[in-house]
Structure 1
């Protein structure tokens, strides 16, 4: 199993890259990106309505909020980044 051989510390760089407000501000400020995600979720409400949504690596939770707006039964948003939790 390849995954079991990867040291836990190897994730540190990835999570640290999201550990400051700037990256989240940049992503939320990217209007095309944010609106594209919003439109993809809201234009596919039938796939989300009454479902339980698990948003791993949710960051600011914007996709979770879109999912709730689309009619998800329940939304669980989890993030490991220091700045979020």
Structure 2
């Protein structure tokens, strides 16, 4: 069940990250999910490092760090993916 939740959270985080980025990101959905999962893990690590991982109420800072990390990953993957597809 944990793997299923990681996939669902990765999908949500990845799609939010794609919304934050300007322009079109022609990468497949599985790459968005993977970037969302990794971004979620990186964002959790950053939140723990900054001491904002557990707050009362909704952890908006942690979620923003997760989406931001996923956006950076998608911004890195997109040109690599499109460059690979042109060959």
Task: Calculate the TM-score normalised by the size of structure 1.
Answer: 0.26
Which structure's residues are more often strand, by fraction? 1
Task: Calculate the TM-score normalised by the size of structure 2.
Answer: 0.26
